[in-house]
Structures are given as C-alpha cells and as structure tokens.
C-alpha cells in the first residue's frame, strides 16, 4: 500500500485536495485493489473548514501522521497563514524528505517555495499567484503553460482542478497506464491533459 497523505488547513480550497483524494482512492475502487492508503492530516485533530465552507475531520494530526509515500500540498487562501508557521513548515519539510513523491496543487506551491524545495526546479501554480510563488522562490523556473510539472520526486500543478491531472499522471507513473486509464474512466475524466487550459 502506498501511503498518500494530504495536508489540510483552514481555508484550503476544497477541490484542490478532494481531486487527489478522489484519484488515489478511485484507483482502489475502480480496480478493486488496495493500492493506496489515502488520508488527510492537519495541524491538530480539530475539524478543518475549507474556504468553500466544508467541514472536514482530519484522520491524523501532523505530529502523529504516518510518513506518507506521497505527500500532497493543496492550495487555497489559507496557504498564506501556513507559510508563516515555522513549526508546521519544519514538520512538512521532514515529511517531504521521508516521502517518495510530493506535489503541490494550485497555491499550495507556496509551501515547497518557502521551504526552498523549488530552487532550480520547474513549477506551475494557480494563474493568479505566479508572481507570488516566484517571489517566495526566486530561483525556481516557472512553467506558466503547463498543467503540471515533473521534477522527479517533486511535482507541481496548476489551479484547483489541475490537482486531478497531476494525480492521474503520478498514478500512471507509479502503477502504469492501464490503472490510470481505468481510474480516469471510473471518474469519467480525461486521462491526458498536460497543457494549461
């Protein structure tokens, strides 16, 4: 089982994290196999309210979360507060170093940016925050026309719905095109969308 840990926080954008959660769990459902253990975690066990008003209960807090193999940083306006919290950033950095893959969705790119993880790497993000992420990571190489970027271990994706695309892409990379195709078919979503809309 590939542990897939999704970090959530107040004012996270709902689809930013529900897209990846859907893809990796749908792979289990569509193929009737337990490929992925998918869970959300937060700073504490308190319910997290998304920017869209949805109240979500974390499965773990950041101190007890099992080390994810895949670490997901969704976006949303709340990322502005996340990157001001040094103790949270330190824990996210440690989780990154213990993971096999990590990706940001939308303005979630602020997190690897402030951690210095985007230095020398390519990134994309929500169209409204290219400048902001570039300011946080001046040595990162922006790819404004990409739906997502792949730096090997670290990936980034464009805004909101693009978290679905980078997840399907990573799924294909890890489990092969047939698993990705069946998952996309289950979700009735196109498998290959690599260019920014």
Which residues form the interface with a second copy (CB under 8 A)? 13-15, 18-19, 21-22, 25-26, 29, 38-40, 47, 51-57, 59, 126-127, 158-162, 164, 185-190, 196-197
Q: Toward a second copy, which CB reaches closer, 153 or 196?
A: 196
Supply the minimum distance, in Å, between the C-beta of residue 139 and a second copy.
25
Q: Toward a second copy, which CB reaches closer, 56 or 89?
A: 56
Q: Toward a second copy, which CB reaches closer, 104 or 115?
A: 104
Supply the minimum distance, in Å, between the C-beta of residue 130 and a second copy.
13
Task: Judge contact between 122 and 143, C-beta under 8 A.
Answer: yes
Q: Toward a second copy, which CB reaches closer, 39 or 151?
A: 39
Supply the minimum distance, in Å, between the C-beta of residue 10 and a second copy.
14
List the 101-105 sheet strands across, edge first: 60-61, 36-42, 2-7, 70-73, 101-105, 154-157, 148-150
Residue 140: CB atoms within 10 Å: 23
- State the DSSP H helix or E strand holding residue 61, giving kind and residue range, or none if neither: strand 60-61
Task: Judge contact between 129 and 149, C-beta under 8 A.
Answer: no
Supply the minimum distance, in Å, between the C-beta of residue 134 and a second copy.
18
How far the first Cα of the chain sits from its last, in Å, is: 33
């Amino acid at each position: 089982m590939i542990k897939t840990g999704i970090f959530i926080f107040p004012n996270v954008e709902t689809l930013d994290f529900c897209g990846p959660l859907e893809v990796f769990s749908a792979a289990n459902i569509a193929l009737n196999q337990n490929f992925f253990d998918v869970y959300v975690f937060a700073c504490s066990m308190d319910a997290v309210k998304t920017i869209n008003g949805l109240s979500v209960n974390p499965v773990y807090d950041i101190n007890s979360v099992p080390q994810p193999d895949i670490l997901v940083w969704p976006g949303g306006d709340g990322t502005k507060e996340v990157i001001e919290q040094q103790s949270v950033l330190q824990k996210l950095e440690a989780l990154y170093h213990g993971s096999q893959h990590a990706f940001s969705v939308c303005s979630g790119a602020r997190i690897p940016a402030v951690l210095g993880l985007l230095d020398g790497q390519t990134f994309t993000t929500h169209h409204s925050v290219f400048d902001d992420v570039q300011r946080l990571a001046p040595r990162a190489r922006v790819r404004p026309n990409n739906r997502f970027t792949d730096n090997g271990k670290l990936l980034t994706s464009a805004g909101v719905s693009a978290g679905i695309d980078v997840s399907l892409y990573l799924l294909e990379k890890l489990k092969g095109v047939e698993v990705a195709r069946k998952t996309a078919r289950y979700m009735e979503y196109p498998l290959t969308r690599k260019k920014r809309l």
